[in-house]
């Protein structure tokens, strides 16, 4: 209970700071957003989150809303195939809720975000996060400065990630500390053909990475193919 109260107090302080401190709002290069709502539906051969295996053969839907400096998103992913085989358990899903406030700090696009991740059917505990990030053009940095893993008692964790765009390929390095301690490397690429998005991601985690599969997906490399459509 004390952890939850502290979490709520920190959220209030951050939003108060964001609303009161005089900063230049980052609009992403466009002063008017003619289509603030975007919906994406798709399929992934496997679903990995920050180097942690979730399920194979996953269908998903995401909805995003942008209004000035405010960005909101909600997502749903079907995790029935947790074992990566022919066993399916009805009701297993991953739900994500996220919101961020975007602005420029000393001419650097920056954000502060809040996230809530929920698993249905008791397949995992709940996660709550406060994150910050900045885009320095040649690379971007994202960090979960406070993560709350809803166990009994509650566990804290932190996540740090650096993404480097390299033309057609993007490289990402991520590290966890706190409740989990591991490192993940990923390279990814994507292309859009006739409004259909195709993606490919290759990753490698170390032997402390968490996962739920036949071989626990620890100390392994992995590959993910995805296809999606936005409207």
116 contacts 85 by C-beta, under 8 angstroms: no
Reported as a single tens digit per residue, the pLDDT across 104-147 is 999 999 999 999 999 887 777 788 999 999 999 999 999 999 88
Q: Could you tell me which residue, 135 or 2, shows the higher pLDDT?
A: 135
Please report the pLDDT score of residue 180 as a whole number.
Answer: 67
Average pLDDT, the chain: 79
187 contacts 163 by C-beta, under 8 angstroms: no
Tokens of 139: 């690379």
How many Å apart are CA 217 and CA 208, to the nearest integer?
10
How many Å apart are CA 97 and CA 116, to the nearest integer?
5
Q: What's this model's pTM, rounded to 2 decimal places?
A: 0.74
How many Å apart are CA 192 and CA 83, to the nearest integer?
30
Cα distances (Å, whole numbers) of residue 178 to 114, 146, 154, 159, 209: 19, 10, 12, 9, 13
Q: What is the DSSP letter of 50?
A: T
């Amino acid at each position: 209970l004390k952890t939850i109260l502290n979490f709520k107090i920190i959220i209030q302080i951050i939003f108060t700071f964001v609303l009161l401190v005089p900063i230049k709002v980052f609009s992403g290069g466009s002063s008017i957003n003619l289509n603030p709502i975007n919906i994406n539906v798709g399929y992934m051969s496997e679903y990995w989150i920050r180097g942690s295996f979730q399920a194979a053969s996953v269908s998903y839907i995401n909805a995003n809303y942008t209004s000035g400096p405010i960005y909101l998103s909600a997502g749903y992913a079907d995790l029935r195939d947790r074992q990566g085989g022919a066993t399916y358990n009805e009701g297993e899903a991953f739900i994500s809720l996220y919101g961020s406030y975007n602005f420029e700090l000393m001419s650097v696009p920056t954000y502060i975000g809040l996230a809530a991740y929920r698993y249905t059917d008791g397949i995992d505990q709940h996660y709550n996060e406060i994150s910050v990030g900045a885009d320095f053009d040649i690379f971007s940095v994202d960090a979960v400065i406070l993560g709350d893993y809803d166990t009994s008692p509650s566990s804290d964790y932190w996540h740090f990630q650096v993404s480097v765009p390299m033309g057609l390929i993007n490289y990402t390095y991520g590290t966890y500390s706190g409740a989990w301690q591991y490192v993940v490397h990923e390279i990814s690429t994507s292309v859009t053909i006739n409004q259909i998005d195709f993606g490919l991601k290759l990753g490698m985690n170390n032997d402390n990475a968490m996962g739920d599969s036949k071989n626990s997906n620890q100390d392994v490399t992995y590959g993910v193919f995805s296809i999606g459509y936005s409207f």
